[in-house]
Each structure stands twice: as structure tokens, then as C-alpha cells.
Amino acid sequence: MDDPSSMDQLEQLEASRARLAAIVDNSHDAIVSKTLDGTITSWNAAAERIFGYTAAEAIGRPVTLIIPEDRIEEEKMVLSKIRAGQLVDHFETVRRRKDGQLVAISLTISPIKDRTGRIIGASKIARDITENARAERERAQLFLDLQRANRAKDEFLAMLGHELRNPLNVITVALDVLEQEPSESARARAIIAQQATHLKHLVDDLLEVGRVVAGKIRLDLQTVDLGELTREHVASLRTAGKFVHHTVTCDTRFALVQADPQRVRQILDNLIGNALKFTPVDGTIAIHVDASDDVVSLEITDSGIGMSPELLRTAFDLFVQGHRDAHRAEGGLGLGLTLVRQLVELHHGSVEAFSQGEHQGTRLLVRLPRYTASAEARPAPKLARTKVPPQRIVVVEDNKDGREMLRKLLELSGHEVEEAADGPTGVERILQFAPRIALIDIGLPGFDGHEVARRVRARQSSERPPILVALTGYGLEADREATFAAGFDHHLTKPVGLKDLAKVFHAHAHDLDGG
């Protein structure tokens, strides 16, 4: 009669084997066994999923079935260690699927022993780490990209300091010349004006790129002839003497686009300015506008210093600038092409740079969708010069020097001016003096310019309310919305000069004619 205890042990052993088989079959990892000569002896469901072969296709065949040729020596080393009873450390490698695709896996290999303890084969657990490997590569690439971006940022900040100090240094020296030698005042003033304009352009570029990248600008789309607008812009640059050291040609044809004329001028300014900056004296620049069935192209080709393949790949990225020649007087922040790309893409266009290499010139190509409607193009608006009769004006500005200079500028133009240095006094001056125009700084002591506008609008009694103009260093769309919500008629970003004020006067020319 059978021993009940032996029967229980056999049942437990069978149950244990069944559980083990279930674990192997249901494992998410491939579990494969092989003989010491590398013949596959078992193959679970996960192995089928990972490597693509069924158990019937794999069992009895050499394990090199899934091993790429360049990894065969790796397998020989593993089997050699198993035969010698040596430990095989966990490692990561590559295996080939039935469809030929390579799979990144991690391997854990253990010896298989018979009842006597003799090693008769090996088992391996293979985990598919393709996604992990991809994620690791992406992390490594991201780390490299962040390093490059951080290096570019540091270089940009250093360049920014250099570019800002240069005009500030010239202005400082010119002021010293004015103090020491009054007879040089005309030349010194001209230099100060030129350098102040350069500083303004630097700051404008910084702010404009920030606004565009943040999606804070809106396009005033009009149907315009890009060929005509380009010819007019090139003619204005020629009249201003920008081309005296270069041979510049302009060949355009009729090409309608839906575009913001002001932004197109920015694109032209930056592209032509870039060509001038990087083309030596006596070099050539060719500007060409053409149109096909659905695309309008603006092409600017120069005979300048060209671009390396590496620079071509990054020319339109933020904080990237090409070679800086110590003998080249023109500076800049390297933001021009970044701004061009952003503006072109806002117009649903594209821009590319081409060059055969350094000292081989550069070709910049802008493509915009062609506007095919039959309507005639509206000419880009031009600002007419308007003579404004003397006006009563209040200046509310807490910066003493800025207030004094603005008052002097307005008085030299024949206007009668009162001033205030804080919010409460500003409201009092405006209500008592009853000006036609009030120029109000936003950042004021007491309360800010927004509150000045609100109180003036709430208490004004005149049938002709004053024209309120905000003066501020903040120019984002949200800042403009806040000034208009407070009751302002205009929003001017500092620095503000005669041209900026002329735009305000022009907008209200009819109302100002009566003084």
C-alpha cells in the first residue's frame, strides 16, 4: 500500500512544478534555456512576444538565431563561463527579432544543473529595455541640448554686456568732450544721438523677440504687394546712405500677400541688415521678389563671409550669432534671424539659409503664401508729417532728469508745459491746468499712472477731455490692455522721442488744430 506521506510529497512537488511553469509562462520577461553548446531547449510566451519566433520555431535551434553577428563572441564568452562554473554578471546587450529589428535587452544568466550538481545548460531571463534605452538616449540628448543652450545663454549675456557698454562708453566720452570743449558740441550731440538710437534698437530687439516668442503680438493683416513694399524699403535705406559701401540691386515683381506691412519691414530690415553686417566693403547684395502659383519668395543673396554647416543648422535659434570679426564695427545681439523666423512663421511662411561655406556668401530665402484674390493691394500706410500748433501739455514723471528733458523738448516745439512728479500731484495739475495732452509715466509714487488716468477720467468736466498718453518701459499686450482699460488713449514704450510724439499728434491732428 502506498505511503500517504509520499503521495502528499509527490502532489506538492507536482503542484510546485505547475506553479513554476505558470510563472515562466506568464512572465513579462523572456525565459529561455539552452544546452552548453547553445541549443535552445525551452521558450516561454514572452520570448515569442519579444523575439517574434514561436516555441516550435525556436526550440532545437541554436541560440545564435537571435544573436546579431557582432555579438557572437559575447555568447561564446557566456557559454565558456557557464561551463567553467563561473558567475556571469548581469549585462545589457542587443538581440535580433525574427523581422530583423534589433531589441535592447538586459540579461540575467544562471547555470542549469542535474540532480548530481553537474552543469548541463544555462537559463536566461531577457527583459526588453528598448523603451528604457530610448528614454536614456533622449535624456542624454536633452542634457547635451541643455548644456549647449546654457553655454549659448552665457555667451549671449556676455555679448549683451559688451554691446550695451560700447554705446554707453561712447556717450560717456562724448559728454566729457562737451564739458571740456563746447566748440565740439554739434559733433558730440550727433554721436550721442546715434549711440542712443543704437541702444534703443538693442533694447527693442530684446523686447520684440520676447513678445513674439511669448505670442504677445498681433498682426494687422492687409493685402499688400511684397514687391512694391520691398522696392520702397530698399529705396528708403539707399536714401539713408545704408548702401554706400556695397553694391545693392533690387529686382522685384508683383506679388500679393496677406501680411502686416510693419512686420514685413522688420523682416526686410533684419535680413538686409544681416547681409550688410556680414558682407565686406565693396561686396554685393542682391534682393529679389518673385511669385509662383501659390508661393511668394523673398530672396536676399550676399557675397559675404558665409556660414559653416554647423551655423546653418542653428542660424535661426535664439542666442546664436555667427563669427564676430574684431575689425567689424557693426555689433548686434544675434536676435535678428530669430525674430525673422518667428515673424515669418506668424505669417504661415518659412525661412531658410543657404551657404556653400565660410567666405562663400549666404542666401536667405523667405516663402509666404501667395494671395490670389482679385482685390487690388492696399498700399502700406505712410505717416504724413503734420504741423501741430502749440498745445497745453502736462508731463507726469517721477524721474527728475527725464521730466526736465521732456519738458524742455516740448517747450522748444512751442508748447506750454506743466509738470508733476507723483500721482496725486499729476491728477491735480491735469484738472487745474486743463491740458489738451497729458504724458503720464506708469510707475509713479503716491499711486501709479493707471490710477491717475482713472481719477482724471472720473472727474473731468471739460467738453474736450485731455488726450492721455501712457509712458512706460513695459510693452507687452497685457500692459497695453491695462493702460487702455484705465482710460489712456495711447501707450508709448520708452524711450520716447519726437517721432513717437509726432504719431500721437498726427492721430489727433483734427482735434489739436484748435489749440
CATH number 3.40.50.2300 is the correct assignment for the domain at 392-508: yes
Q: What is the pLDDT of residue 193?
A: 81
Residue, of 175 and 25, whose pLDDT is higher:
175
Mean of pLDDT values over 407-420: 89
pLDDT of 74 > 60? The answer is yes
Mean of pLDDT values over 252-259: 94
Q: Which of 92, 93, 99 is nearest to 49 (CA)?
A: 99
Domain boundaries, the chain: 24-133, 138-214, 222-324+332-369, 392-508
Q: What is the pLDDT of residue 11?
A: 62
Mean of pLDDT values over 245-264: 93
The string of pLDDT tens digits covering residues 134-189 is 788 888 888 887 887 777 666 666 656 656 776 777 788 788 778 877 777 888 88
- Distance between CA atoms of 338 and 335, rounded to whole angstroms? 5
pLDDT of 192 > 50? The answer is yes
Q: What is the pLDDT of residue 463?
A: 74
Q: What is the pLDDT of residue 155?
A: 60
Mean of pLDDT values over 467-473: 89
pLDDT of 460 > 60? The answer is yes
Q: Which of 435, 426, 429, 428 is nearest to 391 (CA)?
A: 435
- Listing DSSP states for 283-303 in one string gives -EEEEEEEE-SSEEEEEEEE-
Mean of pLDDT values over 57-81: 92
Mean of pLDDT values over 489-510: 81
The answer to whether 361 and 478 have CB atoms below 8 angstroms apart is no
- pLDDT category of residue 266 using cuts at 50, 70 and 90: confident
Among 3.60.20.10, 1.10.287.130, 3.40.50.10860, 2.60.40.1840, name the CATH number for the domain at 138-214: 1.10.287.130
Q: What percent of the chain has pLDDT over 90?
A: 40
The string of pLDDT tens digits covering residues 348-379 is 999 999 999 888 999 999 999 998 865 444 55
Range of weakest confidence among 3-17, 168-182, 410-424? 3-17
- Distance between CA atoms of 211 and 342, rounded to whole angstroms? 10
Cell 514723471 belongs to 397
Range of weakest confidence among 99-103, 296-300, 501-505? 501-505
Q: What is the pLDDT of residue 413?
A: 83
**β-sheet bridge partners, residue 124:** 32, 109
Residue, of 333 and 452, whose pLDDT is higher:
452
For residue 378, give the DSSP letter: P
Q: SS3 for 367?
A: strand
pLDDT of 472 > 60? The answer is yes
Q: What is the pLDDT of residue 323?
A: 47
Residue, of 168 and 41, whose pLDDT is higher:
41
Q: What is the topology classification, in CATH, of domain 222-324+332-369?
A: Heat Shock Protein 90 (3.30.565)
The string of pLDDT tens digits covering residues 379-405 is 545 544 456 688 899 999 998 888 888
Q: What is the pLDDT of residue 212?
A: 63
Mean of pLDDT values over 28-42: 91
Range of weakest confidence among 99-113, 155-169, 463-477? 155-169
Mean of pLDDT values over 37-54: 92
CATH number 3.30.450.20 is the correct assignment for the domain at 24-133: yes
Q: What is the pLDDT of residue 189?
A: 82
Q: What is the pLDDT of residue 24?
A: 63
Q: How close are the terminal C-alpha atoms of the chain, in Å?
A: 128
CA torsion sign for 181, 183, 185, 191 is negative
Mean of pLDDT values over 229-254: 92
pLDDT of 328 > 50? The answer is no
- pLDDT category of residue 270 using cuts at 50, 70 and 90: confident
Can you point out the beta strands (E) in 370-444? 392-396, 416-420, 437-441
pLDDT of 345 > 50? The answer is yes
- Distance between CA atoms of 141 and 96, rounded to whole angstroms? 25
Q: What is the pLDDT of residue 227?
A: 94
The string of pLDDT tens digits covering residues 277-311 is 899 999 999 999 999 889 999 999 999 999 888 77
